Each structure stands twice: as C-alpha cells, then as structure tokens.
Chains A and B, each alone.
Chain A
Amino acid sequence: MPRHYYGHATAAVFAPLEPLSRPSQVARRLSDAITLGLLADGAQLPGEADLAATLGVSTVTVREALAVLRSDQLLETRRGRGGGSFVRLPPGGVAGLARRRLRQLSVVELRDLSDLYATVSGGAAAYAARRGTADDHAQIRTAASDFAAATEPGERRRADARLRVLVAVTAQSPRLYRAEVDLQAEIGTLLWLTLDDDAVHGTEAAHTRRLVSQIARRHPDAARSVAEERVRGASARLIDLRITDEPPAEES
C-alpha cells in the first residue's frame, strides 16, 4: 500500500494507531517502570494473567513481552514453587539501564525529546504559577528542599520526580500531568544520569529554588523560563555524556 500524504497533519491523523507491536509496547512499559524505580531489583512481577488484565492485552502478548525482557536480561524467570518473573537490574543498576537506553538514541533525538520536555515543564510551571495556592507553594517548597538535601543518587531521582509531579499537579492539568510522567519515563530517567555529580546537583538545586520562588510569586513567564532553562541545561550535559559515551568504532 502506498503511503499517502494528505497535508500537514497527515502524520498525526493517518499514522498507524500503534506504531510499535503490542509485545514491544508492553516490554517498553515494563522497562520504563524498572528505569523509573517503580519496580525494584528483585521485585516479583504480577502473574501473566494479572498483567494482561491491567494492561488490557492478551496473555500471549504479555508472554512475548516477558520473553523480550528476558533476552534483554532485565528479567529472570524461575519455575516451580515460589517461581515467577523477577526484575534483574544490569550492572550499574537503573543508571546502567538508562545508559544503555542513552546509547540507543541519536543526539538529534535527544535534542528533540529535551525540547518537548522543556516545553511541557515550562508550561506546567507557568500554570502552576497561575493556579497554585499557598498550600501548593508550601508542598513544592518542601519537595525542592528535599531535592537540595538529597545525597544518594536514588534519593535525588525520587526527589526530582516528586518535585516535577507536584508542579504538574499544581497546574491543575490532568494532561500536563500525564505528559510529565510520560516524559519522565522517556527522558527524565536519562537526565537523572547527570545528577550523580555533586556540582551538577548543586546547580540543579539552585535552579529549583528559583523555580519555587517564581511559582510562589505567581510570575508565570519567569517560572516558565526557569523551568525551560533547567531542562536545557540538563539536556546539554546529557548530550555531552552521550557524545563521550560513544562506543569504539568497531562496536558501533
């Protein structure tokens, strides 16, 4: 079948409903959950039937997805009593997994994803500045201090995730909230790779303090610009990492 072009929105309207196969989508969701830390190392996955019901797919699809994750060495399946599928993190933990994903993305894809994340974060910050109450400000301020005080990489990631979700929730927008959590899985997890460095973390903490103060002062434009700037800075550091992380020529 030839590919038709009807006009500028063709890609949005006439693209296949699901670009990835069902098993790949399920595998992707589960590996997102692992990278986000929702499924910890050694955690047992729900049974195939439960997973199928939760995700609204057939058990055959789930089985194929689990096979993909096993071949990526993210899952271990044990038979018999006490058996089931267990999460197995690669060496280096979630960071190792994020690094693996980082290598699969080109610089231009990373830049494009970061642009979208900056736009969503900026938009959420602007609406949070419009719609936040004093209570919302207090919660965001606490989350920002938790982020600044966090020392362990995992702790920093969770605090950052929480702060970003709170900003999206304060925007009073279910769509922005969904966009934030989707992008957190897709690119947030990669940006977190740069947070292990104390100097970078310090810079980010300073940024979040400015963000909080602009939201609390109800300055939407300033809040948007700080939030966008924060993603742009993190994305530049991530792209540096991506470029220096390039495997030797014979491997690529």
Chain B
Amino acid sequence: MSAPKDARAVLDAIGEMVDEAFATADRIGDEVCARLAGRPHPARGDLSGVESIAVAAMAEPGSRIQGAGFVAAVDLLAHETWWLEWFVREDDGRPNRLEVPTDPEAMGFHDYEPLAWFAVPRETGRPHITGPYVDNLCTEDYTLTFSRPVLLDGRFAGVAGADIGVRAAERSLLPVLRSSSRRLAVVNADGRTLASNTGTLVCGDLLDEATTRSSYAFRDLPLRVVELG
C-alpha cells in the first residue's frame, strides 16, 4: 500500500536518520576492508583508520551519531579474540575510545556474539537496526544501533556500525509526527515504539497490533510507520 503524505513524510525523516548512520557504518566498513584485504593475520593496529572516520562523523555539525566503530568477529585478530574498535561522544561533545573488557577472564566481560546488533548482520548478511534499547553492556545509553556486516573474501569479519541516541532520534522524528493530524507511531520489528505523536503509546512501549489501522514499511529494514485507530 502506498503511504499517505504525512506517513511518507515520517518515512522520509526516518530515511535521513538511517542514511546518516549507515553512511558512517559504510565508511568504516570500507576502511576496514581496504586495510585488512590480503592480510592473513590482521592485528589491532590495522584498525587504526576507524578512529578518524568515527570522530569526524560525530563532530559534524548537527550530527546525530553518538558512537561508531567496528566490532571484530571472534578470532579475526591476532592476539585479541574479542575486540571493539569503537568510539563514543561524551556528554560534553568530546570523542572518546570505548574500552570494554575483552579478556573473557576479566570482571565485566560479556560475549557480544549473541547480541542482536552483532548476530543479525552475521546471520542474515544484511544491515540491521537494533533498539530502542538500554545498552547495559557498553555505553549505558538508551540507544539505537545501526550495524552491517563486513565481509573479507566473502567471509564474515565483523560488523561496522553507528549508534544514534533515542533522544536524537526523537528530535528528528517529532516535528514530522507532530504535523500529522492522524495518530502515527514509528515502531520496530518487535512492535516496540521509537517515537509517536500520542502520549498513550510512547518510546519503549509495545504496540498492540489490534489498535493498528495501517502499517507502512521502511525499505526492508526493521522499522515501520503505523497509523493507530
């Protein structure tokens, strides 16, 4: 079904945000591919180009990107079984390297392999949007993670990704939601709400499918716009 004008405006606003995130993820993925191609035993140092791309993306005026980087497939790197080459923007705007325990014996270590932002791109070979979720394992923010697989000679080498905070997503979506006279919500594949123009279904809430009048897919990614009855 083709979307009415106001729902299309919301889909466009989602598109701007998603494109910004995946453009950053793509640049990081391309950099990793270029540096790792033909290297049988890549090391941490080969990922040094990720930082400047992530930092530049976060520093752009009006950037929504809260964090970005590359997360290596287990056993990809020599010396580091698990590795996150990931950068975050602090509250005061400074970029910072995210350091999480990657030694499985260390307190606070958590295996990222089963997490959706890693597992879904690995299993499907396609980009994925995770969230909104409270990221208790890395950043402790309420966030969306946009991630895509990085392939080397056709083999999965990890994911490149970017985070957009839920507050930044709301700032992007609320103006177009507000200008619709109908009750609209942006939800993910689980029916979890990202933003809406009604106080009865807010960010984090699960949509009751029975109240849905119509639903408009956003490309082939796990976000959609729904009209509530």
Which residues of A pack against B, CB within 8 Å?
Answer: 37-40, 43, 130-131, 133, 135, 165-166, 168-169, 172-174, 177-178
Closest chain B CB from A60 CB (angstroms): 21
* Known A-B contacts A40-B107, A174-B141; A168 and B190 likewise in contact (beta carbons under 8 Å): no
Report how far A174 CA is from B107 CA in the complex, Å: 23
Report how far A178 CA is from B134 CA in the complex, Å: 10
Contact partners of A169 in chain B: CB under 8 A: 133-134, 136
List 15 contacting pairs A-B, 8 Å CB cutoff, sorted by A.
A38-B108, A43-B107, A130-B205, A131-B205, A133-B190, A133-B192, A133-B206, A169-B133, A169-B134, A169-B136, A172-B133, A174-B140, A174-B141, A177-B134, A178-B140
Bitwise, B101-144 to A at CB < 8 A (1) or not (0) is: 00000011000000000000000000000001110100011100
Contact partners of A40 in chain B: CB under 8 A: 107
Q: Is the CB of B140 within 8 A of A172?
A: no
Closest chain B CB from A178 CB (angstroms): 8
Closest chain B CB from A218 CB (angstroms): 9
The residue in B107, B108, B192, B205 that gathers the most chain A C-beta atoms within 10 A of its C-beta is B107
Report how far A133 CA is from B132 CA in the complex, Å: 12
Q: Is the CB of A177 within 8 A of B205?
A: no
Q: Which 10 A-B pairs have the closest CB atoms?
A: A172-B204, A174-B142, A169-B134, A133-B190, A169-B136, A177-B134, A165-B136, A174-B134, A40-B107, A131-B204
Q: Is the CB of B107 within 8 A of A37?
A: yes
Interface residues of B toward A: which range?
A: 10 to 19
Q: Is the CB of B107 within 8 A of A38?
A: yes
Report how far A245 CA is from B132 CA in the complex, Å: 46
The residue in B132, B133, B136 that gathers the most chain A C-beta atoms within 10 A of its C-beta is B136
Please give me the residue from chain A that is nearest to B134 by CB atom: A169
Closest chain A CB from B207 CB (angstroms): 11
B 170-229 contacts with A by CB, 8 A: 190-192, 203-206
Among B107, B132, B141, B191, the residue within 8 A (CB) of A172 is B132
Report how far A174 CA is from B133 CA in the complex, Å: 9
Q: Is the CB of B108 within 8 A of A177?
A: no
Known: A40-B107, A177-B134. 17 other contacts (CB 8 A): A38-B107, A43-B107, A130-B205, A131-B192, A131-B205, A133-B190, A133-B191, A133-B192, A133-B206, A169-B133, A169-B134, A172-B134, A172-B142, A172-B192, A172-B203, A177-B136, A177-B140
Closest chain A CB from B215 CB (angstroms): 18
Report how far A40 CA is from B105 CA in the complex, Å: 11
Bitwise, B67-84 to A at CB < 8 A (1) or not (0) is: 000000000000000000
Report how far A40 CA is from B132 CA in the complex, Å: 33
Closest chain A CB from B179 CB (angstroms): 26
Closest chain A CB from B132 CB (angstroms): 7
Contact partners of B107 in chain A: CB under 8 A: 37-40, 43
Please give me the residue from chain B that is nearest to A134 by CB atom: B190
Report how far A90 CA is from B206 CA in the complex, Å: 47
Please give me the residue from chain A that is nearest to B202 by CB atom: A172
Contact partners of A38 in chain B: CB under 8 A: 107-108
Contact partners of A43 in chain B: CB under 8 A: 107
Report how far A38 CA is from B133 CA in the complex, Å: 23
Q: Is the CB of B134 within 8 A of A173?
A: yes
Please give me the residue from chain A that is nearest to B116 by CB atom: A135
Q: Is the CB of B134 within 8 A of A168?
A: yes
